[in-house]
Structure 1
Amino acid sequence: MSTSEAVRPAAVDPAELGELLAAGTVRVLDVRTPAEFETAHIPGSYNVPLDLLKEHRAELRAHLDEDVVLICRSGARAGQAEQVLSGAGLPRLRVLTGGLLAWQNAGAPVTQGKPRWDLERQVRLVAGSIVLLSILASIFVPGLKWIAAFIGAGLTFAAVTNTCAMGMMLAKLPYNRGASCDLPTIVGQLREDRA
């Protein structure tokens, strides 16, 4: 078994998740930004953004005693969330293979809301714009080309480590935050649905 296989989180495919949801035996935590969640989400899922989950894992862990499936857009952030929660002692965690994209491609039900750009698309826009503008401006100020090199190095690091500093910063912008996405609100939703 390779090292990457040893740390791979337990997975669930869209069909199996649909069965678990129908049986009422699982809680689905969506770790995308509130803006992404508002755009489209699995009915009955809870929005617990990755940064909030990382910061308050112990408090959240106290309200999660059943099987939990973690989802994001494609599976990467959900994998990070799985590592955080398993480190906090939550044993029954799975990640939706392929994320919300796979769920939608399977024709499973989705609650649609106001369309917004997902975080990955925002990162591409910001990074691409910075690279383009720094290269164009380097015609007049040659040293500005190093800004493009810095962004390229950051994107390479993000790919290798499966993290994205720019994405984490963009997730904190008001556009990506929701009024109802704070710890007391999320804990209240988890308690309410347990009762």
Structure 2
Amino acid sequence: MTDSSSIDVAAARKLVATTPGTRLIDVRTPGEFAAAHIPGSRSVPLDLLRAKSGLTVDHSDPVVLVCRSGARAEEARGLLATAGIDRLVVLEGGIEAWERTGAPVKRGAGKWAMERQVRLTAGSLVLTGILGSLVAPKMKWLAGAIGAGLTYSALSNTCAMARVLSMLPYNRTPEQDGPALLEALTSSAQR
């Protein structure tokens, strides 16, 4: 553990092994979760947490937040800190770090990670803008707008394109908006 708000893979695995009530909460999109997740983790997408203000938490179990690399989990930590969770940490490096250490991962359907979806979408829009500018010169501004958006995204550590893509049916499951997903985080009853 490097500080009180984050935990490395070795410490997270030890916490799960020694503290049975530990909750691994994956805040990536349902599509990303379905593709690969830590065994025993539960999906509570960041978009759902953003939409549900005023959560109440009825447990004192430790909660380890997981995403692809740590950025979305850190945002979730900020949102959930106000819900009364005292033992809330982010997995440093996310599921990528988990996999690099050889820790077990449950694999499912081959859906793409959000970052890969953003790269494909942004790259396609830039390419469209450049090629389209051969016919309609003003299309070059599409490429410029995407470049400006990516620059802002890097500087602010946010991604509007990822938020939009997370709303697509491919990245959602029918039960995403139901209370069952939040129950993994908020209820006192264990699985």
Fold in common (TM above 0.5):
yes
Aligned-residue offset at 1:193: 4.7
Q: How big is each residue's C-alpha offset from its partner over 1:60-95, in whole Å with a ceiling of 9 and x where there is no partner?
A: x42453211111001010111111111333332110
Larger fraction in helix: 1
Of residues 142, 145, 159, the one that matches 2:140 is 145
Secondary structure of the structure 1 residue equivalent to 2:128: helix
Unaligned 5+ residue runs, structure 1?
A: 1-7
Of stretches 82-91 and 153-162 in structure 1, the one that deviates more from structure 2 is 82-91
Cα displacement (A) at 1:10 = 1.2
Give the alignment partner of residue 7 of structure 2, picking from 12, 19, 26: 12
Kindly provide the amino acid, as one letter, of the partner of residue 44 in structure 1. Answer: G
For residue 27 of structure 1, what is the amino acid of its counterpart?
Answer: R
Distance 1:165 1:73 in 2: 17
TM-score (norm 1): 0.89
Asked if 2 retains the 8 angstrom alpha-carbon contact of 1:68 and 1:94, the reply is yes
Higher mean displacement: 85-94 or 45-54: 85-94
Give the paired residue count: 187
1:26-53, Cα deviation, whole Å (9 max, x unpaired): 1111000000000111111110110101
Which amino acid in the other structure matches residue 132 of structure 2? A
The more displaced of 96-105 and 23-32 is 23-32
- Overall identity of the aligned pairs, in %: 49
C-alpha distance in 1 between matches for 2:61 and 2:184: 15
Task: Specify every segment of 5 or more residues in structure 2 that has no aligned partner in the other structure, as ranges.
Answer: none
Superposed displacement of residue 19, structure 1:
1.1
The one-letter code of the counterpart of 1:103 is: W
In the alignment, the residues of structure 2 paired with residue 57 and residue 9 of structure 1 have an alpha-carbon distance, to the nearest angstrom, of 24
Consecutive aligned runs of 4 or more in structure 1 exceeding 6 Å deviation? none
State whether residues 72 and 100 of structure 1, in contact with CA within 8 Å, keep that contact through their aligned partners in structure 2. Answer: yes
Conserved in 2, the CA contact under 8 Å of 1:75 and 1:99? yes
TM-score (normalizing by structure 2):
0.90
